[in-house]
Structure 1
Amino acid sequence: MREKIVLIDGHSILNRAFYGVPDLTNSEGLHTNAVYGFLNIMFKILDEEKPEYLTVTFDVHAPTFRHKMFADYKGTRKPMAEELREQVPVIKEVLKAMKIEIIEQEGLEADDLLGTISRTCEEKGLDVAIISGDRDTLQLATEHVKIRIPKTKQGSTEVEDYNAADVVEKYGVTPMEFIDVKALMGDTSDNIPGVPGVGEKTATKIIQQYQSIENAYEHVDEIRPPRASKNLKEYWEQAKMSKVLATIETHADIPFELEKAHFENPYTEEAYVLFQRLQFKNMLSRFDVEAEGNDVEAAFREVKGRDEIERVFAEALKAERVGAAFSEDQGNVLPLFAHPSGFGRIALSWGADEIVSIPCDMDTDFDYLAGKLSELARTVPCFSMCGLKEYLKYLPEAKQENSFDVIVAAYLLNPLKSDYDYTDVAREHLGILIDEKLSDASKACYEAYTAYAAAPVLEEKLKKSGMDSLFSEIEMPLVFTLFDMEQAGVRVEAEELKRYGDQLGERIVDLEKEIYELAGEEFNINSPKQLGVILFDKLQMPHAKKTKTGYSTAADVLEKLAPDYPIVEKILDYRQLAKLKSTYADGLAVFIGEDRRIHGKFNQTVTATGRLSSTEPNLQNIPVRMELGRLIRKVFVPEEGYVFVDADYSQIELRILAHCSGDEQLIQAYREARDIHRMTASQVFHTPFDEVTDLQRRNAKAVNFGIVYGISSFGLSQDLSITRKEAAEYIEHYFETYPGVKKFLDDSVAHAKENGYAVTLFGRRRPVPELKSSNFMQRNFGERVAMNAPIQGTAADIIKIAMIGVNEELKKRNMKSRLILQVHDELLIETWEPEETEVREILKDKMENAADLLVPLIADIHTGRNWYEAK
């Protein structure tokens, strides 16, 4: 049986993968989609071919000998996208780690290497499989050389296979004749000019008849159509040059030794480390290696028995720093000893050689272990965990002064990654790779050790980045504030929520009937395809946009039509009400607990700007734009004897913009408490302040807030339904009015380009890798991020400071009132009625003095018997 070699065209497959796999980045911000796609293709091929030998060839980006022959030819290759370019050395590093032979040689393209190696190997009696996305390689197909062309679509790979006979069947020419077809038709992507006016069909027909361009030229007057005959005469020299360019070299002088290409087990420990770093988690199952870190695992031990456990805790109490972890320990703890939380084990680490896990048993149930851990949390100088907030329920003695959350610290250092766990922290900050197939006890030990060992490392990195104060003074105290808010929850009237849902349902049914009547027939309103047919085919509305599946019925399309077509306005209302019913009226009900309250989660390690997010359910996304949407706030009510006091920052982002830009006119306007939107309208539209119309004020408001988000003239024109030229003039007049703002925004972009990140007043960094993108839209987005992140991030920092201050003051005074919700710039206090005046004073003080800006911070405060009234 013949041995087999697989040859992979490195750049070609990497390029295919780059455009076939959605963008991926690892926690270091490195683009990885091309590498990921390349490996998927390679693994698929290797699984199918099971070769004895494997080699990957790469281009060296210098003029090849073929192109050097034609110095007058001005063809140029499209430059490689920067996101792809940065992945070339990465895939080479991965292949080397997998002990896979790489061949590259200056002056030779990858297909010349493939051609030479495939000929050499075929002559030695091997079967050859060439993997390439370039159809030029079809000229190399023989009985024993198979060309395999992969296609990647949405992460899945299909492969077309061609031996010599397959090429003839598919293209009607032999592999060698395929060169002549290419010489005639040309290929702009490969710098082959060809003969103008000769396409693929004509070129194929000519070569089928004459077998080569030389023979065709000898019969040039017989060639049809006449235009092809005329052009071949005129461009004969170019045709000959194109043939040379299209011909793959098969006798190049290259240093290839077959034995070096011998393919053995590629799943090495070195490769495993790289796969971990690149975060290709679903590929790790291919490896049968133990993760590094065995020296750490050697210190793991399990502790049982009350006496030994007491001794362990006594030792830990003497330590300067303790890392801790809870473990669900599924299947290893008897149901009798398992806690309702699911936790059946804790782990501790107070040194590199002191890493223990303690399971629950008859002598040491969960409550006993949690109590001992809580004492540790109160006592040791540094108590560290991964995701501390989730465990504070079981650690009532924990204090924010000595607590350290390594997940929060890691998030600050890289806020673009929103799903950190202890394995990520161990890998990125300790250089430890943790095997996902470990036992629960070992995982718990690793988590505790990571919490212990990563704390000083992260602390030092935070200091170097200037974010140590942000971490210790804002983010860590916030962990405890958010925990208090989650525990408090917010009361929801279930019956009122049901009535609200019924009300929505009735209105939805009425809207359906009205829409059917205006359409003249019934159809599925939720089907974009059917809706498009009704609006653009039957009713002949303008602004139709065709997509692959029909007409676009996206919100931006319908909003243009709504003012002139009542049916469209009703469809938009129908969509909003249907979402309200499914997401809120029906969706909120499942989260109401036995105490009639919703205990949602507030997440501080998700958004890149530092803003909080809310889940289970998302209470930060309660609708406010339409009245029926706002009415849902009526179902949120305080307990008996309490009222809601709601405080909302007034224009906080514009005030931050005034401070950061130092623009005198903007600062003065806020100091004089003038109507900022009316003043902007007066300046932009050259209208006396007292004569500004409501429309002008609304438009100026859109400009004011749009500037904060780096709005373009196109975006503003869409928002205000004006021409792009008018929008550009609005923005130009705005910057003339507030020149300090223009300078600040320009400086923010320049700073982010130079340093790679935007920064808030409190030192929070937001990386902006998009600024280096080769894609114009991505770079444009990056510029908007660079403008907005310092403002939005500072606003997030300020509301966090206010939250911490309010929560701590309420607790300090032993008040019954409690902070229960935060929605961007708004805080909601469930206030015991006798404390209302005091709560209003606390809110005003803590919110308006959260930061010392050049303009005053203003908090608008309202009281109500439900959230709707308070807002």
Structure 2
Amino acid sequence: MSKKLVLIDGNSIIYRAFFALPLLNNDKGVYTNAVYGFTTMLLRILEDEKPSHILVAFDAGKTTFRHQTYKEYKGGRQKTPPELSEQFPILKELLDAFNIPHYQLDQYEADDIIGTLATKGNEEKWDVTVISGDKDLLQLVSDNVTVKLTRKGISDVESYTPDYMVEKMEITPEQIIDLKALMGDNSDNIPGVPGVGQKTATKLIKQYQTVEAVYNHIDEISGKKLKENLSTHKDDAFMSKDLVTINRQSPIEITIDNIVYEGYEQNKVSSIFKDLGFQSLLSRLTGESEDEIEQNASLKEIDFTILDEVTPDIFTGEESLVVEMLSDSYHQAPIEGIAIANEKKAYFIPTEVAVKSKAFREWAENASQKKYVFDAKKTLVALLRQDIEIKGITFDMLLASYLLDPSENHHDIPAIGHRMGKTDVLFDEEIYGKGAKLKVPEQGVLSEHIARKTSLLYTIKDNMETNLKENEQYELYKELEMPLALILGEMEHTGVMVNVNRLEEMGAELKQRLDEIEKDVYELAGEKFNLNSPKQLGPILFDKLELPVIKKTKTGYSTAADVLEQLQDEHEIIPKLLLYRQLGKLQSTYIEGLLKVVNKESNKIHTRFNQALTQTGRLSSIDPNLQNIPIRLEEGRKIRQAFVPTKKDWIMFAADYSQIELRVLAHIAKDKKLIEAFQNDMDIHTRTAMEVFHVGEDEITSNMRRQAKAVNFGIVYGISDYGLSQSLRITRKEAKKFIERYLDSYPGVKTFMDEVVQEAKHKGYVTTLMNRRRYLPDITSRNFNKRSFAERTAMNTPIQGSAADIIKKAMIDLHEKLIDEKLEARMLLQVHDELILEAPKEEIDKLKQVVPAVMENTVELDVPLKVDYEYGDSWFDAK
């Protein structure tokens, strides 16, 4: 069998993934975009290359042996963003799970490790593939060594062989070193010869073969300036050649023979995928271990009955209930079966039997009959679709599990059972399959599986409630999350009415705007081209219009949004291009996206609120995400025009908390200046600007206030100097000073941050005002990046989590108040700190009194809560 060696440039690929993908994080708040991109590519590599041997090489540090030759080597590079640094140890843990060796060597670079191993593989006539984004590695190309370079993002890869290099670059692999010696490399701060670009360098190397030969024939070279530059910078050229030459005899402690790859264990990789939230990658893993199969075959028998008729005598007044649906989209998904269990027995009830049964309906709608469920909201909505209004839910396993450990990704019944030592039930994936291949098994298997889950739910309910009480979280669970789940279920089932015609009109208006902008851009460019193609746009902007080049990619000019934003004042074509992109996203993602999910019968959208997802306790919205409709552009705000009241002569009423997180910060931190500012109803961003810039209120400019606003909210979200610098487009040094001045101005905030980190180190978790917990296992980690992230999380979780708890309590209080006041008004949506209701017009005056009063008095803080409200004929008019 031939040997296949794959060598991966770890630093190059993870950097490329970080900047190619948006800044993603999992439900624990850990940044994952770079690891996700790397892993996506890794799975493809394993599938396509089928290596017998593999290694991922990393740089060991900032200083290498090359710095002895040139101290400025790689000088000027931006410091690695902490959002990326935090992902390196995660990536290495993932590689360990894959059983893929990784290696770094002090004073040497990943290139040198790869070069040494690739050279040995070449000598042994192995099939060697090197994967990187760095063209320096092309010098390793040979008959046995192929170098694959990432071109665009992480998915587009170009394979270099000796023949392909000559065809594409007109030079041989060995001549890459000479090419770089002459042209230099800005990314590595390699000087080369000024005035010599790739085109000139290629011409010289084609003619003379090597740098040495160029200088041996320097008198023959035409062009006075070129000859002068070559002569003046001869030492730089030869030094540059040394710098770019890969050390193929690095003193590494590994050999190609001991980096054997024998595959990975699915369980280990699945576990880390689940932890990182890589749901889409889980489906790419195949099979299960033999141990699992053997274990699953030895389940204890369960006593359950399949009912063809429901009779009142099966109910004891204290039952667990499972309404089984394979899809998370429970607004449309069919109910596959229903089961109940009590201390006597478990029963499986086919769906059609249950929904037609008078006994089942009477039991379900009887509030005195206690019911234990998994996901009360889902259960409520599923049965409401069958015109059954379930009452008497006293336990929700999903919410209990979520509160006990919000960092856990899997809260389904079997997973919770296994964590509590109850393994007598199979995982849903083993019964229904995975991903898009979900399949309902024959009734015998289906009924037993659902019965087992229902029995397990009944069995461990008491233990979970005991754990909540021990954690002092039972009140949070019983008084906040449980009642909220049922309110959210009602809101979801009610849905929001959509004016489909208005949405379609907006789509047509956007299409017309896009066509107009396209024509304007063509006129400014002097020719037609594909506005969505960076390959076509780059030459227009930087060659034809001669705009300053901000950033280059491996394939040409960068036309990313951040690049265009820096060029806004350089040419009138740039603002039009930015607007074109923004409007295009509105058209595709929101107009077309919303039209796809409107219920054709009711003209309503039924979103789903995730109540058990975020570690801060915030609600999120999916299918569709109505919390994420963009409002910065007027065209984005106008999308809210399509959301209208259900009934004629009704209005939409929106109320939102003003700066709730900053008010919570003032209360928690007990900072006198912050408290005073809010108590005096002063603009907090102006106050912060006064403190940070040391000027009077009348001297504050709009830019000062904008920067103060960014740091105010940045502190709440644990922003780093890198994050603030990106937000304000200032240097990291300036951003760091800004944060330091802020903390000097508000010493109470600084004290709170220091104390909450120490408390987290002592307890292992932080809490909100209502005792929601977030566990921080990395708060004492020896790894600096992991520890730093945990510290920032410890600072911002009490603020964000407390704000989330407050608006949840406000929803419960408001729901009760609307009932007490016998109002027809009802809540439809929660969007971050905003509540959207619909109501008859004659209730407006009452709502203007009731809603702010309830929301502002739902909790008592050291600073007043402030609520603003608007109302109108659509959601847009209510803002």
TM-score by length of 2: 0.67
Deviation at 1:689, TM superposition (A): 2.4
CA distance in 1, matches of 2:44, 2:702: 60
The answer for the alignment partner of 2:505 in structure 1 is: 499
Change (3 A) 1:284 1:617: closer
CA distance in 1, matches of 2:736, 2:699: 23
The answer for the alignment partner of 2:745 in structure 1 is: 737
Change (3 A) 1:692 1:91: closer
- Write the mapping of 1:427-826 to structure 2, written as runs, cut at 5 A: 427-432=418-423, 433-434=426-427, 436-438=429-431, 439=441, 440-593=446-599, 594-638=601-645, 639-752=647-760, 755-768=763-776, 781-826=789-834
Conservation of the 8 A alpha-carbon contact between 1:388 and 1:405: no
5+ residue gaps, structure 2, are 19-23, 55-86, 104-112, 134-143, 146-160, 163-246, 275-281, 432-440
Conservation of the 8 A alpha-carbon contact between 1:418 and 1:607: no
Secondary structure of 2:527's counterpart equals coil
Opposite residue 412 of structure 2, the aligned amino acid is: D
Secondary structure of 2:627's counterpart equals helix
CA distance in 2, matches of 1:274, 1:714: 33
CA distance in 1, matches of 2:485, 2:44: 44
Conservation of the 8 A alpha-carbon contact between 1:392 and 1:483: yes
Deviation at 1:863, TM superposition (A): 1.9
Conservation of the 8 A alpha-carbon contact between 2:376 and 2:393: no
Deviations 1:117-158 (A, max 9, x none): xxxxxxxxxxxxxxx99976998999xx9989798999xxxx
CA distance in 2, matches of 1:632, 1:29: 30
CA distance in 2, matches of 1:133, 1:646: 59
Change (3 A) 1:835 1:297: farther
Conservation of the 8 A alpha-carbon contact between 1:429 and 1:457: no
Deviation at 1:859, TM superposition (A): 0.5
Change (3 A) 1:407 1:806: same
Deviation at 1:449, TM superposition (A): 2.8
Opposite residue 550 of structure 2, the aligned amino acid is: A
The answer for the alignment partner of 1:356 in structure 2 is: 347
Opposite residue 428 of structure 1, the aligned amino acid is: R
Change (3 A) 1:392 1:501: closer
CA distance in 1, matches of 2:341, 2:304: 11
Deviation at 1:341, TM superposition (A): 5.8
Conservation of the 8 A alpha-carbon contact between 1:619 and 1:823: yes
CA distance in 2, matches of 1:470, 1:829: 25
The answer for the alignment partner of 1:342 in structure 2 is: 334
Conservation of the 8 A alpha-carbon contact between 1:752 and 1:786: yes
The answer for the alignment partner of 1:122 in structure 2 is: none
Secondary structure of 1:348's counterpart equals strand
CA distance in 2, matches of 1:436, 1:292: 15
Change (3 A) 1:287 1:709: closer
Conservation of the 8 A alpha-carbon contact between 1:293 and 1:434: no
The answer for the alignment partner of 1:299 in structure 2 is: 302
Secondary structure of 2:420's counterpart equals helix
Change (3 A) 1:88 1:43: closer
Indicate which of 368, 376, 384 corresponds to 2:357: 368
Conservation of the 8 A alpha-carbon contact between 2:491 and 2:827: yes
Conservation of the 8 A alpha-carbon contact between 2:650 and 2:841: yes
Conservation of the 8 A alpha-carbon contact between 1:760 and 1:791: yes
Change (3 A) 1:244 1:813: closer
Deviations 1:248-276 (A, max 9, x none): 899xxxxxxxxxxxx9xx99xxx998787
Change (3 A) 1:750 1:690: same
Conservation of the 8 A alpha-carbon contact between 1:666 and 1:738: yes
Change (3 A) 1:81 1:624: closer
Deviations 1:537-580 (A, max 9, x none): 32222252112333222222211211332211111111111111
Deviation at 1:510, TM superposition (A): 0.9
RMSD: 5.4
The answer for the alignment partner of 1:324 in structure 2 is: 322
Deviation at 1:43, TM superposition (A): 11
Secondary structure of 2:714's counterpart equals helix
CA distance in 2, matches of 1:20, 1:528: 20
Deviations 1:370-391 (A, max 9, x none): 9348538734444222464244
CA distance in 2, matches of 1:518, 1:684: 43
The answer for the alignment partner of 2:858 in structure 1 is: 850
Deviation at 1:426, TM superposition (A): 3.1
Conservation of the 8 A alpha-carbon contact between 2:373 and 2:379: no
- Write the mapping of 1:126-141 to structure 2, written as runs, cut at 5 A: none
CA distance in 2, matches of 1:153, 1:323: 53
TM-score by length of 1: 0.67
Secondary structure of 2:876's counterpart equals helix
Opposite residue 861 of structure 2, the aligned amino acid is: L
CA distance in 2, matches of 1:138, 1:653: 57
- Write the mapping of 1:239-254 to structure 2, written as runs, cut at 5 A: none
Deviation at 1:855, TM superposition (A): 0.5
Deviation at 1:424, TM superposition (A): 2.7
Change (3 A) 1:751 1:83: farther
Secondary structure of 1:285's counterpart equals coil
Change (3 A) 1:556 1:81: closer
Opposite residue 334 of structure 2, the aligned amino acid is: G
Conservation of the 8 A alpha-carbon contact between 1:323 and 1:450: no
CA distance in 1, matches of 2:404, 2:821: 35
Opposite residue 313 of structure 2, the aligned amino acid is: A
Change (3 A) 1:758 1:373: farther
Deviation at 1:91, TM superposition (A): 8.4
Which stretch of structure 1 is more off in the superposition, 764-773 or 582-591? Answer: 764-773
Opposite residue 637 of structure 1, the aligned amino acid is: V
Change (3 A) 1:573 1:304: same
Opposite residue 383 of structure 2, the aligned amino acid is: Y
CA distance in 2, matches of 1:326, 1:762: 32
Change (3 A) 1:493 1:726: same
Conservation of the 8 A alpha-carbon contact between 2:616 and 2:797: yes
- Based on CA coordinates, which of the two structures has the bigger radius of gyration? 1
CA distance in 2, matches of 1:44, 1:491: 47
CA distance in 2, matches of 1:503, 1:243: 63
CA distance in 2, matches of 1:243, 1:732: 44
Change (3 A) 1:245 1:838: closer
Change (3 A) 1:566 1:454: farther
Deviations 1:197-219 (A, max 9, x none): xxxxxxxxxxxxxxxxxxxxxxx
Change (3 A) 1:553 1:372: same
CA distance in 1, matches of 2:775, 2:130: 33
Question: What is the aligned length?
Answer: 703
Conservation of the 8 A alpha-carbon contact between 1:620 and 1:824: yes
Deviation at 1:8, TM superposition (A): 13
5+ residue gaps, structure 1, are 50-54, 57-79, 96-108, 110-131, 155-164, 172-238, 251-262, 330-338
- The answer to whether the aligner puts 1:383 opposite 2:386 as a matched pair is no
The answer for the alignment partner of 2:175 in structure 1 is: none
CA distance in 2, matches of 1:27, 1:695: 34
Residue identity over aligned pairs, in percent, reads: 37
Indicate which of 394, 400, 403 corresponds to 2:383: 394
Deviations 1:758-795 (A, max 9, x none): 43222223345676788876665544433322212211
Secondary structure of 1:317's counterpart equals coil
Opposite residue 559 of structure 2, the aligned amino acid is: T
Deviations 1:286-342 (A, max 9, x none): 545646466765115342343xx42xx6344254x524233579xxxxxxxxx9963
The answer for the alignment partner of 2:875 in structure 1 is: 867
